Amino acid sequence: MVGSLIPSSRFLAKKMLHNIPFQNAKVIVELGPGTGIFTEKIIEKLAPDTHLVVIELNDVFYQNLSAKVTNEHCHIVHGSASDLGKILQDLGFEKADCVVSSLPLTNFPKDLRIDIMNAVTDCLTPTGTFIQFQYTLQSKKHFQRIFKHVSINYAAFNFPPAFVYCCSNS
């Protein structure tokens, strides 16, 4: 479920944040924050009117993050990424401008992976962006079937080194 032995590096965090539209986004979603390495950096750059919805399944990570994060525009949710649509609806948001994911998708059963990707594509605005890191290029074809545009960036200074997929339809 966690998919990694140690948290991601600040170098990977920088590459993950690079394509987040901080200036224009009304709602940003983070899936699988773990210890919150990306969450902290996203909050630092969050515009005053932007909301951040953070979804974590693991109870301990969720409790720790909830205790740490005080920003009133940041909503920490204990739940599964597959319920993204309902979670956004419950918070009063219709769509998300950007979904940033650290989920270990390739470790998941196929059905869960499909449910999560359907939830992501359903909730994104037409100009929305999906950003996901993976340790391999295995997901490239999969993302290319879902999104019109897929670009890949490499984060060498991470253990293990990671690929950052940036996907959109516009």
Ligand X SMILES: C[S@@+](CC[C@H](N)C(=O)[O-])C[C@H]1O[C@@H](n2cnc3c(N)ncnc32)[C@H](O)[C@@H]1O
> Could you tell me the smallest distance in angstroms from the CB atom of residue 24 to ligand X?
24
- Which of these segments, 32-40, 46-54, 64-72, 86-94, binds ligand X (CB under 6 A)? 32-40
> Could you tell me the smallest distance in angstroms from the CB atom of residue 167 to ligand X?
18
* Triad 54, 139, 136: Cα angle to 5°: 90
Considering only residues 68 to 127 of the shown chain, the ones binding ligand X according to CB under 6 A are: 80-82, 102-104
Residue with smaller CB distance to ligand X, 76 or 81: 81
- What residue has token string 């059963």? 109
Pinpoint the alpha helices (H) of the chain: 10-18, 37-45, 59-68, 84-91, 110-123, 140-146
Residue with smaller CB distance to ligand X, 29 or 167: 29
Residue with smaller CB distance to ligand X, 155 or 167: 155
Q: In the chain, how many H helices and how many E strands?
A: 6, 7
Site string for ligand X, 132-161 (x = CB under 6 A): ------------------------------
Q: In whole angstroms, what is the distance from residue 20 CA to residue 9 CA?
A: 18
Asked whether position 130 contacts ligand X by CB under 6 A, the answer is no
> Could you tell me the smallest distance in angstroms from the CB atom of residue 83 to ligand X?
8
Residues interacting with ligand X, by CB under 6 A?
1-4, 7-8, 31-34, 37-38, 55-58, 61, 80-82, 102-104
